[in-house]
Structure 1
């Protein structure tokens, strides 16, 4: 475990890029082998805006990475944060607890806030307006959302009190986990259900992308499902009843156009569609 943390303390940028590209490639291939839903769409055409927003996410995060390092150095030097206030524990437990807490403050919390605060919800809608959720949807975030989430990650580092190796390990796991739980792959039902007790499984997260409430406001988890289960935001829905997208931005053409998506947070929501919900 110490070796892993030491590696992530100085992980080269090209290794981090390889994790992003490698995860996308792996789950992209798996989607063709064991698809969850037979999505009738042009896969490469659909990927273009999503890859664009993946790149903007990277461009937002890279210049600000030094802030994470500064925050991490400060909490360790000042012995600040939850991890530093707890009694000494085995390294494996320290790492797991740190990852779970970072996931709660840096991912679960901002996700709920984005759903509950109207201006932030308008920004987050870019992610939800994808009509064909697959692994490329994972980082389909408006640049403003990338900035918002970065602020919460920074907050998580300070509150949890994490060393930089643990922060970068978390970020790497987060990338792969979100690519996995957004991927259009079909796992055996029992396996998916079992996984959902510990991590956010594909079936669990797809519920969050159903186009109507209350399912849109559920299953906020990023890596670990514990936060949804603790705070009562966990819901189940048969995957064959899930309809992707959001009823206030129903135009599939606009939701596939980069220019329209960049403007989407500043537009008025349409009236909900009259499409019958299957639930």
Structure 2
């Protein structure tokens, strides 16, 4: 465990990039072998805007990584944060608690807030307006959302008192977890259900991408499902009934155009209550 933590303390940017590309490639191939939905689409064409937003996410996060390091160094030097106030424990448990808390502050909480605050929802809509959810949808976030989530992660580091090794390990696990949960893969129902008791499974997260309330406002988790289960935001829906997209931006052609997606957050807010084509 100590070696693992030391590796992530100084993980090179190239290695972080390889995690993103490697995970995306793996789940991309797995989708072809075990598809949940047989989308009638040109997969590479569909991936273009999603990969564009993946690149913008990387461009936002990599240059700002030094702030995470500064925050982590500060909490360590000042013995500040939840992890620093807990009694001594085994390193494995220390890492687990750190990642669990980072998952709350860096993923669950900002995701929940984005759904509840109208201007932030407009930014987050770029992610939800994908009509063919697959592995490439995982990092389909408007650059503004990338900044918002980064700020929550930074605040989380301070509140948790997380060392940089745990922060980088969390971010790496988060990338793979979100690629997994968005992948258009069909697991045996019992297997998916079993996974969902601890982690966010593909079927569990697909419910979140259903266009219709209240399902859109459920299953906010990224790595762990515990936050949804504890805080009452967990829901189930048979995958046969899931319809992707959002009712306020129903035009699939526009939702596949990078220029239109970049402008999407600045359009007039309309509360998502209507229907798509059930």
Using the size of structure 1 for normalisation, the TM-score is: 0.97
* Paired position in structure 2 for 1:23: 23
- Give the alignment of 1:36-55 within 5 angstroms: 36-55=36-55
Q: Distance in 1 between matches of 2:190 and 2:34?
A: 16
Any runs of at least 4 consecutive aligned residues in structure 1 with deviations exceeding 2 A, and if so which?
A: 268-277
Aligned to 1:3: 3
- Distance in 2 (CA, whole Å) between partners of 1:64 and 1:32 is 35
- The structure-2 alpha-carbon separation of the partners of 1:86 and 1:46, relative to structure 1 and needing over 3 Å to count, comes to same
8 Å CA contact retained: 1:106, 1:152: yes
Match of 1:127 in 2: 127
Q: Equivalent residues in 2 for 1:1-279 (5 A)?
A: 1-269=1-269, 274-275=275-276, 277=278
**Residues of 2 paired with 1:127 and 1:151: CA distance?**
18
- Tell me how far 1:39 sits from its aligned partner: 1.1
* Gap change, CA 1:161 and 1:267, over 3 Å in 2: same
**Residue deviations 1:5-51, cap 9 Å, x none?**
00001111111100000000000000000001111111000000000
**Count, aligned residues:** 277
The 2-side partners of 1:28 and 1:276 are apart by 27
| Deviation readout 1:230-271 (Å, 9 max, x if unpaired) | 001000000010000001110000000000000000112568
Question: Given that residues 208 and 217 in structure 1 are in contact (C-alpha distance below 8 angstroms), is that contact kept between their aligned partners in structure 2?
Answer: yes
Structure 2 residue runs without a partner (length 5+): none
Alignment check: 8 A CA contact 2:246 2:276 kept: no
Does the 8 Å contact 1:199/1:224 carry over to 2? yes
Is the contact between residue 75 and residue 158 of structure 1 (CA under 8 Å) also seen in structure 2? Answer: yes
> For the residues of structure 2 that align with 1:175 and 1:18, how far apart are their CA atoms?
11
Aligned-partner SS, 2:62: helix
Work out whether residues 211 and 275 of structure 2, in 8 Å CA contact, stay in contact via their aligned partners in 1: no
**Residues 250 and 273, structure 1, Cα contact 8 Å, conserved in 2:** no
Indicate if the aligned counterparts of 1:51 and 1:136 stay in contact, CA closer than 8 A: yes
- How far 1:275 sits from its partner (Å)? 4.0
Structure 2 CA distance for aligned equivalents of residues 272 and 195 of structure 1: 31
SS of the residue corresponding to residue 63 of structure 1 reads: coil
Q: RMSD across aligned C-alpha pairs, in angstroms?
A: 1.1
TM-score, normalising length: structure 2: 0.98
CA distance 1:175–1:168, change in 2 (3 Å): same
Q: Displacement, 1:273?
A: 5.0
Aligned counterparts of 1:106 and 1:136: Cα–Cα separation in 2: 20
Contact 2:211 2:276 (8 Å CA) reproduced: no
